[in-house]
Amino acid sequence: MVMERRKTDVGLSVELFGRRLETPLMPASGTLSKEAVEEVRGVYGAILPKTTTPLSRDGNPTPRIAETPAGMVNSIGLQNPGVDEFMKNLDDFDLGVPMFVSVAGNTVDEFRELCERVSADERVFAIEMNLSCPNVEHGGLTFCAGASSVEEVVSACRGVSGKPLSVKLTFEGVVENAIAAEASGADAITVMNTMPALTVDADARKVLVKGGFSGPAIKPVAMRAVYDVSGAVDVPVIASGGVSTGVDVAEFMMAGAAVVQIGTVSFVRDPEEILGEFEEYLRKHEMSASELIGCLRGAGSV
Amino acid sequence: MKFHTVEVEGVEALGRYVLLRYPWSGAIEPGQFTMARAAGYPTTFDPFLARPFSFYDHDGETASLLFEVRGRGTQLLAGAKETIEVSRPLGKGFRVGEENGRSLLLGGGVGVAPFKFLSRRLDELGVEHDVVLGFVDEGVAGVAEDFPRAKVATMDGSLGVRGTVLDAVGDLSEYSAIYACGPNAMLAAVKKAANGIELCQLSVEERMGCGNGSCNGCVVPTKARGLVRSCIEGPVFDAEVLAW
């Protein structure tokens, strides 16, 4: 399948892991269903289905989502059919653009086995390691709980995978963890995951949803994380967190992102509008996408 | 998700519910829903998400939504003057056909919403059917005036039969198809009572984030396949599929 090239007079493409992406946009993990994939044809430069795990997971009971001003809190629980079924249906996400696969394990061994398994498939362009899941060998703290934990799991995966590895980190300790990931062989850092949050049903006096906070409200936090991480590592940064407009995409690239993920906002906006706004920004400023990357720090800044 | 800006043709009160009409000439099936909100970006930051509503009616030119004002999202929709934003029709609707035998439509509270449209479709197909609507009390039963042939039940007996929709129905075995929409407890009761009826379909109500299968927020338990997304596989399910 060949991607339909967008007709545009501005330079939207970027390079990642030696390959040209037609646009710097891709979905954030867990925010694009196979049923919605056709809606984003031509918009995303790379694709990324929902995180897969070694075995199928039912996920959490409802309520799983709660709305907040400019965002939402979710507690889905990594519901997925398990890696065997996932790989069988991977072609559902084939839009003719490079395919990322997001993996999550409960142990270092699970991560290693998943990476080995997924890396053997030639349809896979790169792997995103979702390190925000609990590490059952360390009392349920996430793999992002410290640099040594990041080093252990990234090194293990590096040892079995020849594919580019992007390590997805949470905000807590993001710079130290990014440095550790790079030192352990990561090819990119995805910054950042949702933030821990709680919503309450006041009438029932009960917890409504305890989970991860996403959406436009977290953008300034993600921006700070992307800026700090891109100043601390040499590998590319993939930004994720609260992007809702084309100008947001430009801002994240200025802060150092090579690629920008579109997540929660895709529930309330058409990602094509976001790409259109980004093109508009580039046209207005007579710049190409790749010229924006990191310009807040470099000679390109205004 | 793509949203379409549509003109508001009218907003009116039906009892304590609100009926909102807008032009829509595309195909809609009874039981399908739309994600709707008062305004798009950037106003949509708060409330952030659109809300799912079953279609109340569609005559080929005008679609309508029936809802109860419960929070800010519905409050803003109820106050919409010029335009609102809607998704395309989503989800799987009711299974109907000319082969349908005598059918029964059971609506509870604002769950009466999909049955104006389903009743219209059954009329077009020449399928004989009865409509029974249940409400807490007379105050919310105003919408029943829009269903002249319907039998009405209220929990407090202030209008129609005292009790639930099931209390207002005679012998269920007269029917070969039962369609129900309302609170989960009502749907579970209908499922139990409809045991042995050829076709029993339930339209479920779940909190939804996106409406197109992406967020996995709106799952319902099934017997054979665990939790499935009601926006994609529903909102109308065969009763025997659901693990209730």
pLDDT in tens, A124-151: 999 999 998 777 888 778 999 999 999 9
Total beta-carbon pairs less than 8 A apart between chain A and chain B: 103
Nearest chain B residue to A32, by CA: B214
Percentage helix, strand, coil, to 5, in chain B? 25, 35, 40
Reading across the β-sheet that carries A195-201, which strands appear in turn?
A65-68, A71-74, A206-214, A195-201
Select from A51, A267, A262 the least CA-distant residue to B44: A267
What mean pLDDT value characterizes chain A? Answer: 94
| Contact criterion met (CB below 8 Å) for B209 and A31 | no
Using a CB-CB cut-off of 8 Å, the residues of chain A touching B75 are none
pLDDT at position A7, please? Answer: 60
The answer, for B84 touching chain A at a CB cutoff of 8 Å, is no
Helix (H) or strand (E) holding B5: strand B4-7
Q: Is the pLDDT of residue A2 over 90?
A: no
Task: Tell me the two tokens of residue A259.
Answer: 């690629």
Task: Quote the percentage of chain A above a pLDDT of 70.
Answer: 96
Q: Can you tell me the distance from the alpha carbon of B70 to that of B76, in angstroms, rounded to the nearest whole number?
A: 11
Helix (H) or strand (E) holding B34: strand B33-37
Please give, rounded to a whole number of angstroms, the shortest distance from the CA of A296 to a CA of chain B. 26
Residues sharing a CB contact under 8 Å with residue B42, sequence separation 6 or more, in sequence order: none
Residues in chain B, pLDDT under 70? none
Beta-bridge mates of residue B134: B108, B153
pLDDT at position B212, please? Answer: 96
B contact test, residue of A68, A85, A268, A270 with most B CBs within 10 A: A268
The answer, for B169 touching chain A at a CB cutoff of 8 Å, is no
Report all structural domains of chain B as residue ranges with CATH numbers, in order of start: 4-86 (2.40.30.10), 102-205 (3.40.50.80)
Q: Is the pLDDT of residue A6 over 50?
A: yes
A58 band by pLDDT with thresholds 50, 70 and 90: very high
Using a CB-CB cut-off of 8 Å, the residues of chain B touching A67 are 47-49
| Contact criterion met (CB below 8 Å) for A253 and A292 | yes
The answer, for A36 touching chain B at a CB cutoff of 8 Å, is yes
Map residue B151 onto helix, strand or coil: strand
Rounded to 5 degrees, what angle do the CA atoms B18, A215, A235 make?
Answer: 160
Alpha helix positions (H), chain A: 83-88, 108-119, 147-158, 174-183, 219-232, 246-254, 271-285, 289-292
Task: Tell me the two tokens of residue A159.
Answer: 């040892």
Q: How far apart are the first and last CA of chain B?
A: 31
Beta-bridge mates of residue A189: A167, A237
Q: Can you tell me the distance from the alpha carbon of B244 to that of B236, in angstroms, rounded to the nearest whole number?
A: 14
pLDDT at position A299, please? Answer: 55
Using a CB-CB cut-off of 8 Å, the residues of chain A touching B5 are none
- What's the gap between Cα B96 and its chain centre? 15
Option in B49, B219, B226 nearest A268 (CB): B49
Nearest chain A residue to B85, by CA: A268
Task: Quote the percentage of chain A above a pLDDT of 90.
Answer: 91
How many CB atoms lie under 10 A from the CB of residue A108? 19
Please tell me whether the interface predicted TM-score (ipTM) of this complex is above 0.85: yes
Select from B104, B81, B94 the least CA-distant residue to B11: B81
Using a CB-CB cut-off of 8 Å, the residues of chain B touching A58 are 226-227
Residues sharing a CB contact under 8 Å with residue A254, sequence separation 6 or more, in sequence order: A292, A293, A294, A295, A296, A301
C-alpha atoms less than 13 angstroms from C-alpha of B171 in its C-beta half-sphere: 2
Using a CB-CB cut-off of 8 Å, the residues of chain A touching B232 are 33, 35
| Contact criterion met (CB below 8 Å) for B182 and B134 | yes
Please give, rounded to a whole number of angstroms, the shortest distance from the CA of B178 to a CA of chain A. 27
pLDDT at position A1, please? Answer: 44
Q: Is the pLDDT of residue A284 over 90?
A: yes
Option in A76, A79, A268 nearest B48 (CB): A268
Residues sharing a CB contact under 8 Å with residue B35, sequence separation 6 or more, in sequence order: B1, B3, B50, B51, B52, B86, B87, B90, B208, B210, B211
Q: Do A34 and B219 touch (CB under 8 A)?
A: no
Q: Do A65 and B219 touch (CB under 8 A)?
A: no
Q: Do B213 and A36 touch (CB under 8 A)?
A: yes
Please indicate whether residue A133 is annotated as part of the active site: yes
Q: What is the pLDDT of residues A219-237, one digit of tens each?
A: 999 999 999 999 999 999 9
Reading across the β-sheet that carries A257-262, which strands appear in turn?
A25-27, A257-262, A237-239, A188-191, A165-169, A126-130, A100-103
Q: Do B1 and A244 touch (CB under 8 A)?
A: no
Q: What is the pLDDT of residues A22-47, one digit of tens each?
A: 999 999 999 999 999 999 999 999 99
For chain A, positions 244-263, list CB contacts with chain B under 8 A: 244-245
| Cα separation values, B33 from A17, A285, B16, B178, B186, Å | 42, 42, 21, 20, 20
Task: Tell me the two tokens of residue B52.
Answer: 């799912």
Option in A63, A71, A266 nearest B1 (CB): A266
| Contact criterion met (CB below 8 Å) for A278 and A249 | yes
pLDDT at position B241, please? Answer: 96
pLDDT at position A210, please? Answer: 95
The answer, for A69 touching chain B at a CB cutoff of 8 Å, is yes
Please give, rounded to a whole number of angstroms, the shortest distance from the CA of A156 to a CA of chain B. 31
A contact test, residue of B44, B86, B88, B227 with most A CBs within 10 A: B227
